[in-house]
Amino acid sequence: MGREHRVRDIAVQAGLSETTVDRVLSGRAGVSARARRQVEQAMLDLDRQATQVRLGGRTLVIDLVMQAPSRFSWAVRTALEAALPGLRPAVLRARFDLSETASAAELIATLEKVRKRGSQGLILKAPDEPEVVEAVDKLVAAGIPVVTLVTDLPGSRRLAYVGIDNRSAGATAAYFLTQWLGDDPGSVLVTLSRGSFRGEEEREMGFRSTLRKLSPGRAVVELAETDGLDTTIHGQALAALTADPTINAVYSIGGGNRAIVQAFADLERPYRCFVAHDLDADNLALLRSGALSVVLNHDLPTDLHRACQHLLHAHRLLPNVPGTPSNLHPITPYNVP
């Protein structure tokens, strides 16, 4: 392996000792395959954050831990790495632990690993479960500030929440959907990745309450615990469409939209309206093809910049950061940025 980065930087990035990193770089025996993978990934991360590595001054190493489909977690990762060079007065570098599916025990083990190796801050997307809240509180007690992203853990000692007003987002989805459907009959398919994500729960609550006002009596068919993965949601969507032939609209809270569109196509069923969240690569392609009606998007680079500012504030490097929700941007095929 090359020596473009200092052993110390690689060790911090990988969460390993300098001795272990040196053994890997030197090709010596006695190193696990997992450690080798961690070193390789750390070097890739440092390559991607090369500007941050070269800058002088105080350096804070932060962690991004997310449970989300890879299409979204990679969009967040890209947004965070884009935000890093513009942050001052300290230099921030980021480490990543991104998973599509994880049990509460696995997620808690990841948070415990962060606590034990140390961190100057954590940006976290995780389900609102008691064990996760307890793990976050342990991190804060250890002096690691935590900022929740997209979905909140309000019962924890987290420093701040960064993201949209999810209840308002759900209400906005109901408004768009009823404008498209008008007085035409039909049920709405609502999909979530996990009910334990507070942000998704709030979107659903906002959607249902507003739908009851704007279109009383319109039925909602819910699919939950899909993890937002195409492989999981396709079969569930097929079953729901077969069971209810009146479904003609979709509000996708948790993703897996390619699979939902495919389920309609498999049954040769049309739909009138499809409202989704987040302009990731999948949704961008679906929007441009006309498969999605509107995407409710929030500015991830701005969100990640603000999350980092909260962490800088926790280290007394910035004054207080406003805690207002992020703006929600409806994107149609005609105003794609």
Nearest-angstrom CA–CA distance, 328 and 168: 9
296 CB neighbour count, 10 Å cutoff: 23
Q: Does 36 share its domain with 143? A: no
Nearest-angstrom CA–CA distance, 173 and 129: 26
Q: Does 88 share its domain with 233? A: no
Q: Does 154 share its domain with 253? A: no
Q: What is the pLDDT of residue 203?
A: 97
Q: Does 280 share its domain with 268? A: yes
Positions of the chain with pLDDT lower than 70, given as ranges: 1-3, 48-57
Q: Is residue 336 part of a domain?
A: no
Q: What is the pLDDT of residue 247?
A: 98
- How many helices and strands (H and E) does the chain possess? 13, 11
Counted domains in the chain: 3
Consecutive H or E run containing 9: helix 7-14
Q: Does 294 share its domain with 172? A: yes
Q: What is the pLDDT of residue 170?
A: 98
Nearest-angstrom CA–CA distance, 333 and 337: 10
> Per residue in 59-76, is it b (16+ CB within 10 Å) or e — as a string?
ebbbbbbbbbbebbbbbb
Q: Does 212 share its domain with 287? A: yes
Q: What is the pLDDT of residue 55?
A: 52
Q: What is the pLDDT of residue 26?
A: 80
Write out the residue range of the structural domain in which residue 174 sits.
166-298
Give how far Cα 198 sits from Cα of 78, 106, 153, 183, 193, Å.
24, 19, 7, 31, 11
Give the tens place of pLDDT for each residue, 246-272.
Answer: 999 999 998 999 999 999 999 999 999
- DSSP result, 167-201: HHHHHHHHHHHHHHHTT---EEEEE-S-TT-HHHH
Q: Does 21 share its domain with 82? A: no
Q: Does 170 share its domain with 291? A: yes
Give how far Cα 33 sits from Cα of 1, 10, 37, Å.
15, 16, 6
